[in-house]
Amino acid sequence: MKTPTTCPKCHGPLLSTELPLRNGESAWKKTCSTKLDHNFTCVTHQYDDDLVEIIVIVINRANVPLKVSWYFTPRMLMVYKEFVGSDSAIKIPWVEPDLTQYDKLVEKIRTYVTFS
């Protein structure tokens, strides 16, 4: 997936910060600069900053927010309950993130979590 340049939720600019990796290389972490009612972050591939390695969004719910993480290299989609221990992770079937329809994507993830 190509690295987005704007936030899929608010279409605001993404701020880039260098992310040092354990192997001495670095990648870019891009986060929404607005972040009033949402959270969007992506991390680029360490050898190609035009390719996304990880995307993370937070879905706000009444009781516990959900952190949704797409890991592109293993093609794994994980949902974590925020502020709870690491045993709160749910692996759900891979869904290619269509960032052009952000709200629809969020609803799809909510449906998977409800029935998981």
21-57 in b/e form (b: 16+ CB < 10 A) is: eeeeeebbbbbbebbeebbbbbbbbeeebeebbbbbb
Q: Domain containing 59: what range?
A: 14-114
**Does a structural domain hold residue 3?**
no
**Does a structural domain hold residue 76?**
yes
**Does a structural domain hold residue 71?**
yes
Number of domains in the chain: 1
Selected residue with higher pLDDT from 84 and 69: 69
At 2-61, the pLDDT tens digits run 899 899 999 999 999 999 988 888 889 999 987 778 899 999 987 787 889 999 999 887
Instruction: For residues 43 and 57, give the distance between their C-alpha atoms in angstroms, rounded to a whole number.
Output: 12
Query: Which pLDDT belongs to residue 82?
Result: 65
**Tokens of residue 10, six digits:** 């608010």
